[in-house]
Amino acid sequence: MSISIGIHDLSFATSEFVLPHTALAEHNGTDIGKYHVGIGQRSMSVPAADEDIVTMAATAAAPIVARHSKDRIRTVVFATESSIDQAKAGGVYVHSLIGLPSACRVVELKQACYGATAALQFAIGLVRRDPAQQVLVIASDVSKYELDSPGEATQGAAAVAMLVGADPALVRIEEPSGLFTADVMDFWRPNYRDTALVDGQESISAYLQAVEGAWKDYAQQDGRSLEEFAAFVYHQPFTKMAYKAHRHLLEFCGHDADRDALERALGSTTAYNTVVGNSYTASVYLGLAALLDRADDLTGRPVAFLSYGSGSVAEFFAGTVVAGYREHLRTEENREAIARRKPVDYAGYRALHERSLPADGGDHSTPAQTTGPYRLAGISGHKRVYEAR
Ligand code: COA
């Protein structure tokens, strides 16, 4: 009999500041309906000057290692597309900040917003090889587009940490997966840029093509039928995208995509993404956190996941929610991570957006802004310096 493997614990973190879309709309003269209804976003997380993907990742992962033994974690897979170094894995800093044992492998993975799903699947493979081991999967990203570009309204920042192991307490991940890859240029970030480039309409149609392709492969692999799923957790670059994607899938499968059907499938999955903004690799798992925290009892119910990463790679797979999962949720902490953010005005956001770490190799400290447990204290000799607060 095959063992049950999946998500044993899930915790997320986001930034110190938040910019409401009303402030952006006021700045650029956009009707707020375009943001609130047209793309389904109400606010976006904005990292403080002393926060980055490492501090958010460590903040997300710390409660997991506080609750479980560190000794079973022999692998950390850090997924990101806003990496801070071309060589060193961001997860190595996190490994140190949260005090994991040295007998551990740490690696960084990249394929746009899809990376965390690759990490999850690789983690499952490692656990299947040795069910006594657990893998810490971390997805951490800062979504950053040029000021005054269409993408600006779909920025955000968050990290999700997941403990993957045998006999999981939250969600058992199933086989098969439906897979899809296509070489498209819908969204990318060359190494010399710190803001992403995106062809918005191309990214929507590439996403829809990937949903269809991944679903077709899932069906060919003898996956579940669409009617079996209690909910659908999509990657959400903006929450309206989940609605576009699910409508496309329902219609492709010959179903009515009426408002009720969409709301039933997606309604509980967008609550965190709509106020956090795009968190790239973390986005689909922030959707899962919202679903588990908010939906009626899902015990024993299959949930569908559609993970999409521009460029593009997509995966459709299923997870079954485990009996007793509610006792292991971090609902209060999750709400607090969002509620504790301090509103920043447009000028403050713009100043943070325009900041970058000095590249001259000198000693530079960063302003003390975050009230989170970890901070980027500065940069010295081209080395980022982190500290616990
Ligand atoms: N009230 C309600 N809805 C409104 C509105 C208003 N006053 N004004 C516009 N809208 C709607 C539009 O009809 C459109 O809806 P639709 O897509 O269902 O037709 C939506 O708001 C967006 O309008 P659009 O003109 O397409 O906006 P845009 O040119 O600013 O682009 C994005 C929006 C999302 C494409 C852009 O922000 C972007 O490229 N973001 C990055 C996306 C990304 O990250 N992709 C990569 C990963 S998948």
Per-domain residue ranges of the chain:
5-388
Task: Give, as one character, the DSSP assignment of residue 54.
Answer: H
What whole-number distance in Å separates Cα of residue 301 and Cα of residue 56?
Answer: 31
For domain 5-388, the CATH architecture is: 3-Layer(aba) Sandwich (3.40)
pTM score of the predicted model: 0.98
Q: Verify whether ligand 1 is closer than 6 Å to residue 272 (CB atom).
A: no
Provide the token pair at 193: 């840029």
Q: Which atom of ligand 1 is nearest to the CA of 280?
A: 47
Question: Active-site residue numbers?
Answer: 81, 113, 235
Q: Tell me the three state secondary structure of residue 296.
A: coil
34 among annotated binding-site residues: no
Query: Atom 8 of ligand 1 has which residue's CA nearest to it?
Result: 34
Contact, 82 vs 144, CB < 8 A? Answer: yes
Question: Going along 203-355, which residue ranges are E strands?
Answer: 231-234, 302-309, 313-321, 342-343
**Ligand 1 proximity of 302 Cβ (cutoff 6 Å):** no
- Ligand 1 centroid – CA 181 distance (Å): 25
> pLDDT tens digits, the chain, 389 residues: what are they?
579 999 999 999 999 999 999 999 999 999 999 999 999 999 999 999 999 999 999 999 999 999 998 999 999 999 999 999 999 999 999 999 999 999 999 999 999 999 999 999 999 999 999 999 999 999 999 999 999 999 999 999 999 999 999 999 999 999 999 999 999 999 999 999 999 999 999 999 999 999 999 999 999 999 999 999 999 999 999 999 999 999 999 999 999 999 999 999 999 999 999 999 999 999 999 999 999 999 999 999 999 999 999 999 999 999 999 999 999 999 999 999 999 999 999 999 999 999 999 999 999 999 999 999 999 999 999 999 999 99
The reply to whether ligand 1 has any atom less than 6 angstroms from the CB of 187 is yes
Does residue 208 have its Cβ closer than 6 Å to ligand 1? no
What pLDDT does 2 receive? 79
Q: How many angstroms does the Cα of residue 42 sit away from the middle of ligand 1?
A: 13
Residue nearest to atom 32 of ligand 1 (CA): 200
- What is the Cα–Cα distance from 149 to 134, expressed in whole angstroms? 42
Ligand 1: which residue has its CA nearest to atom 42?
200
Tokens 């209804």 sit on residue: 37
Q: Of ligand 1's atoms, which has the minimum distance to the CA of residue 187?
A: 46
- Determine which helix (DSSP H) or strand (DSSP E) holds 74, and give its type and residue range: strand 73-79
- Counting Cβ atoms within 10 Å, is residue 328 exposed (0-12), middle (13-18) or buried (19+)? middle
The answer for residues whose C-beta is within 8 angstroms of residue 206's C-beta and 6 or more apart is 182, 184, 186, 310, 312
Could you tell me which residues are beta bridge partners of residue 363? 380
Contact present, 14 and 275 (Cβ < 8 Å): no
